[in-house]
Amino acid sequence: MRAYADNDYPANHKPNWRIIAGLWPYLAEFRGRVFLAAGCLIFAKLATVATPVALKYIVDYLDQGREGELLLWIPLLLVAAYGLLRFSSTLFSELRDAVFARVAERAMRRVSLRVFRHLHNRELAFHLDRKTGGLTRDIERGTTGISFLLRFTLFNIVPTLLEIFLVAGILFFAFNVGYVLAILVAVIVYVVFSIKVTEWRTKFVREANARDNQSNSRAVDSLLNYETVKYFNNEQFEAEVYDRDLEDWEQARLKNRLSLAALNSGQALIIGLAMIAIMAMAVQEVASGEITLGDFTMINAYLLQLFIPLNALGFVYREIRQSLVNVERLFALLGDEPTIVDRDTATELKVAQGEVRFEDVHFAYRRDRSIIQGVSFTIPAGHKVAVVGASGAGKSTLARLLFRFYDVDQGAITIDGQDIREVTQQSLRSAIGVVPQDTVLFNDTLYRNLAYGRPSATEEEVHQAARMAHLEQFILGLPEGYETQVGERGLKLSGGEKQRVAIARVILKNPPLLILDEATSSLDSLSEQAILGALKEVSSHRTTLVIAHRLSTTRDADTLLVMDGGRIVESGRHEQLLARGGYYARLWEQQNQSEDGSDTEDEQDITER
């Protein structure tokens, strides 16, 4: 099943009715409740169908009593029976809903959790391409659609069909076949009309959803990039783009509303004509004495009782069609398997020493553009190897491959001789700590963001990690201390503070392997020196891969690997590479010249402040 993007779902796409059968596993967990709810449904419908019969006898007795002696207790008894049937119908309907509530809510919970887990299992490439706003709308509508399908398929369509057959049977045996034929013709015309018109207007519903996703994605994306909008004074531009999306959504909704009005009007016309025809037959038979006034009342009650849920059936069918579309999109998300999966024979990674080897590694994000070309190197256990080079050389890709965000196209990456493709992702990633270039925090307290490195850590362990990351003094200076809210994506903290949080997380995780992916590239010189000290403490005695653009941050590495165009062009220690006067030496000279200028500017800025 193809997972369509937010706005490319074909307008003429037919919903997959087999999806309803796919909901059975969510019902099977509570078979007993499902059958009990079905029993309540049957009792409710039997009471509903019996109610007009009681009404008939009340009217007939009162009508006959005008000509003879009237015993008051008989109509009172019939009225009590009538009221009891009405109450029973409502009681069993409510019991049905109460019994089934656990089933529907648990199904929504199960599906939501399944989708949540699945999205976290998807590869990095999926999340780089996704549109968060549209994705969350699809999940929200899909889970709601499942609840609707479960409730209304079982408790609206099935009961309505059951009621139609029961009423038709009663009218057939109690009166003549003409009433049954009239009702069946009306029902068939109504159903065919509803289906045809609903099929026609589904494209408008789907278009409205697509435009809704589009506008919501744009709004979320714009708000997440609030600062960028402000930097370029583009509030008006963003508002205009959002308004164009809203205009498309408005037009799609308008088409949806107008087509709905046409559908409702047509359904009302069919029901009205059917009521006129059947009631005219009944009036004629009452006038000729073929049926009693009570029979006329019963027929009228049955028609009202039948056509009201039938009218609702049109709404339910429309909503079921829409729910099928929403659930299909949700199941499409689940249908796309992750490209990075554990093999059936995968074992737990066992880290004894922590030696990492890249063996003739080739990799490309796209087939027409190779990123890594024949890279081979070893990081001995407990050593620090830094990979440097110009932007786009493939440095960060090495870290992504080691963490197995992607699989190599050729060659192998091993840890203590174990190919990382042959071990479970869980055990591999448990053994690796990452301090990323851009640390993104949850919109929560500082304490919970720190404890995220190991949620089971004690409070003292979290405080100790903060101290080791040279963060506690800053935290204690805050009015709310560890309970300070960091804001969306941690925007209330500076770059250096967020980097210290990342370091504290790694300290809590305490992995044998460490990746430092340009962890100081966005910091000023003063912050960088403070962070470098903390990083040096964290990386000591750990096998460490450092990805760096600033060469000044890697001088203490045991080995420097210089990359250019996806290949390692030089390797050695800092002094050795400078002495060779090659590519690294030229990079060093260029960065020193640029940093001298920026350092002077930093000093002037500090003096002015």
Beta bridge partners of 432: 513
Give phi and psi for 397, each to the nearest 5: -65, -35
pLDDT tens digits along 208-239 = 877 887 888 788 788 878 767 877 788 888 88
Lowest model confidence (mean pLDDT) among 7-21, 361-375, 437-451: 7-21
| pLDDT at residue number 70 | 58
Using the predicted structure, report yes or no on whether residue 66 has a pLDDT greater than 60: no
Using the predicted structure, report yes or no on whether residue 71 has a pLDDT greater than 70: no
E strands, 429-542, are 432-435, 513-517
Assigned CATH for 18-335: 1.20.1560.10
- Strands in 356-363's sheet, in edge-to-edge order, are 372-379, 356-363, 410-415, 418-419
SS3 readout for 172-184: HHHCCHHHHHHHH
Using the predicted structure, report yes or no on whether residue 452 has a pLDDT greater than 70: yes
Q: Say how far apart CA 503 and CA 545 lie, in whole Å.
A: 15
Higher per-residue pLDDT: 72 or 203:
203
Using the predicted structure, report yes or no on whether residue 26 has a pLDDT greater than 50: yes
Averaged pLDDT for residues 433-460: 88
CATH 1.50.10.20 fits 343-431+511-609, yes or no: no
Averaged pLDDT for residues 317-340: 77
Lowest model confidence (mean pLDDT) among 45-49, 62-66, 165-169, 475-479: 62-66
| pLDDT at residue number 128 | 67
Lowest model confidence (mean pLDDT) among 28-32, 277-281, 463-467: 28-32
Beta bridge partners of 378: 357
| pLDDT at residue number 3 | 40
439-510: same fold as 343-431+511-609? yes
- Domain-wise residue ranges, the chain: 18-335, 343-431+511-609, 439-510
Q: What is the mean pLDDT of the chain?
A: 81
pLDDT tens digits along 465-498 = 888 888 888 889 989 998 988 887 777 888 778 8
CATH topology of domain 439-510: Rossmann fold (3.40.50)
